[in-house]
Amino acid sequence: MRRSAFPSTRLTKSGDPRYGQGPAKHPVVEQMKQTERQPESAHEDPRHRDRIRILLVTGWYFLLGVLAVAVGIFVRDLIALDAPPAPVRAEHSDAPVVPALESPDQEALALQEPPALYEMPDPLDPVVESIRPAGALPEQRSEPQHKGMVALVIDDAGNNLEELEPFLHFPGPLTVAVLPGLPYSAEAARRIRSAGKELFLHQPMEAIGGQYPGPGAIYGGMSEATIREILERNLAEIGPVAGMNNHQGSKITRDPQAMEIVLTLCREQGIYFLDSRTIADTAAPGVAKRLGIPLRERDVFIDNIQEKTAMIRYLEEGLQKADRQGAAVMIGHTWSTELAALLAEVYPGILERGYSFTTISQLFRGSLEYHEDPGH
């Protein structure tokens, strides 16, 4: 058989099964084909990767939320353990409710917390009430021990009748001092007497600082005749009065000669003198002792700071002095907007503690009685 001049070109079975082996396979092409035939799971789908990331982040935030809730519950329970238990109170109790004292918010109030002025007995605990035998009598409370007398003086009446009015409704004894020469001086004095309160002349006197003391004032260097004339004119306008006290007067009350004139006239008129003690080295007590004239001095100014908590502290200071001395004189002013309501509020509690209220003239009569009281 003759050989063909051309090489064999028969196809393999990969091409046509009727033919033999074909040409050789190229390795790079075969590798690409193998790669294309790999299953889809062998490649990482970007969308699949994003879904996994979202699931992981969501799970992480969920765990953080659960942890935050657990921490919050733990802290709440911890605070609840430290908090004091709420007081047990019977519903619809008729017992008086004592208002809480406000917290101090001024430098001058940085004092030691005093005992409360309200020491009213608390309503009976409902738990104790429930176990009391039927028909048993309630526990008897002992009467409070008498502690001391409190004399309240309200200065500066005569400027404003509306400011004066609340003090005239105070339930206990009260002394009110009226300034002379003002538009409402005479009417204020009339209303004070009509309300059954004790009336004093609030005599203006010169101060060291030079402040204007008001009309009808006594000044340093005045003669005895001038001082007497001023005092008699003021007493005629305001009187009859039970006594007088000084308005300002830090200069005059230091002057023994001026105070001798004032105290001598008080004795002649049958009225008392209360030293407001606007200065520490007042000469009034020494002059009064030398002349044999009774004299009382102010113990506490209630409203040096016109804030309720501060005034309560000054009242408590006065009560402590009444404990030690047997009596205390406390001075306030008509222009203190909260003072009248505060005095009416604390009045029952002070009585419960064993104190009694009185007037200045009654304090004087307790030491030396030498005249009838013209101020009532």
Give a yes or no: residue 81 inside a domain. Answer: no
Residue 201 binned pLDDT confidence (cut-offs 50, 70, 90): very high
Give a yes or no: residue 339 inside a domain. Answer: yes
pLDDT score of 102: 38
Cβ-based neighbour number of residue 281 at 10 Å: 7
Question: Is 295:275 a contact under the CB 8 Å cutoff?
Answer: yes
Give a yes or no: residue 2 inside a domain. Answer: no
- Identify the burial level of 329 via C-beta atoms within 10 angstroms of its C-beta, where 0-12 means exposed, 13-18 middle and 19 or more buried: buried
Residue 28 binned pLDDT confidence (cut-offs 50, 70, 90): low
Tens digit of each residue's pLDDT (9 = 90 or more) over 48-70: 777 787 878 787 778 888 888 77
Give a yes or no: residue 343 inside a domain. Answer: yes
Query: 240: cis peptide before it, omega within 30°?
Result: yes
Residue with tokens 């430098």: 107
Q: How far, in Å, CA of 111 to CA of 76, rounded?
A: 34
Tens digit of each residue's pLDDT (9 = 90 or more) over 314-330: 999 999 999 999 999 99
pLDDT at 343 over 80: yes
CATH number of the domain encompassing residue 336: 3.20.20.370
Give a yes or no: residue 26 inside a domain. Answer: no
pLDDT at 120 over 70: no
Tens digit of each residue's pLDDT (9 = 90 or more) over 159-170: 999 999 999 999
- Identify the burial level of 139 via C-beta atoms within 10 angstroms of its C-beta, where 0-12 means exposed, 13-18 middle and 19 or more buried: exposed
Q: Is beta strand 327-333 parallel, antiparallel or unpaired with respect to 356-358?
A: unpaired
Q: How far, in Å, CA of 269 to CA of 57, rounded?
A: 97
pLDDT at 32 over 80: no
CA 128 to chain centre: 33
Determine what percent of the chain is predicted with pLDDT higher than 90. Answer: 57
CA nearest to 333, candidates 208, 105, 163: 163
Alpha helix (H) residue ranges in the chain: 27-36, 46-82, 126-131, 161-168, 185-194, 224-238, 256-269, 284-291, 308-325, 339-352, 360-367
Three-state secondary structure call for residue 109? helix
Q: How far, in Å, CA of 211 to CA of 369, rounded?
A: 36
Tens digit of each residue's pLDDT (9 = 90 or more) over 228-270: 999 999 999 999 999 999 999 999 999 999 999 999 999 999 9
First to last CA, the chain: 168
Give a yes or no: residue 284 inside a domain. Answer: yes
Give a yes or no: residue 139 inside a domain. Answer: no
Residue 78 binned pLDDT confidence (cut-offs 50, 70, 90): low
Q: Give the relative orientation of helices 224-238 and 185-194 as an angle to the nearest 10 degrees.
A: 50
Mean pLDDT of the chain: 77
pLDDT score of 75: 64
pLDDT score of 361: 96
Q: Give the relative orientation of helices 308-325 and 339-352 as an angle to the nearest 10 degrees.
A: 40
Top-confidence residue, 189 or 134? 189
pLDDT score of 30: 59
CA 94 to chain centre: 26
Tell which phi-psi region holds residue 128, choosing left (phi > 0), alpha (psi between -120 and 50) or beta.
alpha
Give a yes or no: residue 119 inside a domain. Answer: no
Domain boundaries, position 239: 150-367
CA atoms within 13 A on the CB side of 37: 6
Compute the average pLDDT of residues 37-42: 48
Structural domain count, the chain: 1
